[in-house]
Amino acid sequence: MSLKCGIVGMPNCGKSTIFNALTGAGAEAASFPFSTVQPNVGVVPVPDDRLERIHAWVETKKVVAAELTVVDIAGLPKGASRGEGLGNKFLGHIKEVDALLHVVRFFPAPGQEGDGIDPLAEIEVVETELALADLETVERNLERVTKRARTGDKQMVECRELFAKIRDALAEGRQARSMDLSAHEQELLKPLFLLTTKPVLFVANIPDGELSAEVQSLLQQTEARAHEQGCEFLTLMGRFEAELVELPEDERREFLADAGLERSGLERLIRTSYHLLGLRTFFTAGPKEIKAWTFHDGDRGPQAAGVIHTDFEKKFIRAQIYGLEELEEHHTEAAIKAAGKLRVEGKDYLMQDGDIAHFLIG
């Protein structure tokens, strides 16, 4: 499954530090100079302790995690929507991803004097550039559908009304995702690939150590703004996470335990990004491998089977499903079946996050 999260933000917000930590690239990986256009792309495993809980009862040769594709897009400069600083190419890369991780700086920029930190202003710059780019796209397409609507084409009439509504909202400085659009309207908008319709996770990149009262207040204001827009929000110490990922796994876990943390910030970021894309996980468990597979929330049994192999969706007969709780209670699949807890599900079954599945294929 090729869904991608794009990391965006103003220059010097710490995007590349976070990307390098996420992908394990480390401190030696090159960060973007301001003029760089091509983004870095990394595939990262999705942390999931359910894999090891399954492994505790199922002997296997290997354990395979689900994966998430992350794209580090060069810092978005002011004026990008007008092509400044190679802005059109930056915006083009944002168009190609499915969700945005918007990194916001809560520490002084390199070379900056004093403690000048203004995350809300930086958010405003990025969102304005995205909205202006979308406004140009919508106005161009509104002109096109208006001409065709004059012929009486019903869908073009619908598009004309919808695009005009989106245009007005963007002109007012609103993001398209903040609008209450029906499923049909969202479908009509898809061909436009609007930047401001993408789901967003705001990542507050905070300094190490104790936070000042000013930073804490700014964090509260930024989180409130994120929630007002229907976006998610989390805090992350980018530099600390980059150093933490350099430690061996056992030392990293010990360090986190001493700090009273169950998960690193990066693990929280990956899991939140995964769910931001509407992705969920089912498992297959056998002697060859225990594997986490990715499906879309709302997928049915045949679609999930198709994730394993495209032919499986067409040849799907039924699925045998059980949960981790049943495995931990009964210890083997045979015992789960004997207890009447192994469910047989047909083509209409809505897959659930955490299902352990066997698919019967004809």
Q: Is 85 a residue whose pLDDT tops 60?
A: no
Domain boundary among the residues 276, 307, 333 is at 276
Residues 272, 304, single domain; the answer is no
Residue 176 covered by a domain: yes
Q: Three-class SS of residue 204? A: strand
What would the mean pLDDT of 265-285 be, rounded to a whole number?
A: 93
- Are 230 and 223 in contact by the 8 Å Cβ rule? The answer is no
What would the mean pLDDT of 286-299 be, rounded to a whole number?
A: 95
Q: Is 64 a residue whose pLDDT tops 50?
A: yes
Among 76, 70, 117, smallest CA distance to 269 is for: 70
Q: Which of 205-219, 296-310, 345-359 has the lowest mean pLDDT?
A: 205-219
- CATH number at 145 reads 3.40.50.300
Which amino acid is present at 85? G
DSSP 192: G
- What's the number of domains the chain is made of? 2
Residues 27, 160, single domain; the answer is yes
Residues 89, 131, single domain; the answer is yes
Q: What is the pLDDT of residue 92?
A: 74
Average pLDDT, the chain: 87
Q: Which residues pair with 291 in a beta bridge?
A: 64, 284
Domain boundary among the residues 214, 241, 276 is at 276
Residue 10, token pair as written in the block: 């103003």
Residue 36 covered by a domain: yes
Residue 281 covered by a domain: no
Residues 172, 309, single domain; the answer is no
Residue 290 covered by a domain: no
Residues 352, 230, single domain; the answer is no
Percent of the chain with pLDDT over 70: 90
Residues 269, 303, single domain; the answer is no
Residues 121, 213, single domain; the answer is yes
Residue 288 covered by a domain: no
Q: Is 76 a residue whose pLDDT tops 90?
A: no
Q: Is 66 a residue whose pLDDT tops 50?
A: yes
Strands 343-345 and 316-322: antiparallel
Q: What is the pLDDT of residue 253?
A: 84
Q: What is the pLDDT of residue 22?
A: 87
Among 358, 275, 360, 347, smallest CA distance to 48 is for: 275
Residues 350, 221, single domain; the answer is no
Q: Which residues contact 79 (CB under 8 A, 6 or more apart)?
A: 85, 87, 129
Residues 181, 61, single domain; the answer is yes
Residue 289 covered by a domain: no
Q: 2-61: per-residue pLDDT in tens?
A: 688 999 888 888 888 898 888 874 433 333 333 344 678 888 999 999 999 999 999 999
Q: 109-152: per-residue pLDDT in tens?
A: 766 555 578 999 999 988 988 888 899 999 999 999 998 898 88
> CA-to-CA distance for 144 and 248, rounded, in angstroms?
57
Residues 47, 94, single domain; the answer is yes
Q: Is 272 a residue whose pLDDT tops 50?
A: yes
What would the mean pLDDT of 74-86 be, rounded to a whole number?
A: 58
Residues 342, 217, single domain; the answer is no
Q: Which of 10-14, 75-79, 266-270 has the lowest mean pLDDT?
A: 75-79
Q: Is 351 a residue whose pLDDT tops 80?
A: yes
Q: What is the pLDDT of residue 2?
A: 64
Residue 285 covered by a domain: no
Q: Is 86 a residue whose pLDDT tops 50?
A: no
Residue 283 covered by a domain: no
What would the mean pLDDT of 288-306 be, rounded to a whole number?
A: 96
What would the mean pLDDT of 216-242 be, rounded to a whole number?
A: 92
Residues 310, 261, single domain; the answer is no
- CATH number at 306 reads 3.10.20.30
Q: Which residues contact 234 (CB under 8 A, 6 or more apart)?
A: 201, 202, 203, 204, 265, 268, 269, 272
Domain that holds residue 350: 298-361
> CA-to-CA distance for 307 and 296, rounded, in angstroms?
10
- Are 131 and 137 in contact by the 8 Å Cβ rule? The answer is no
Domain boundary among the residues 246, 276, 306 is at 276
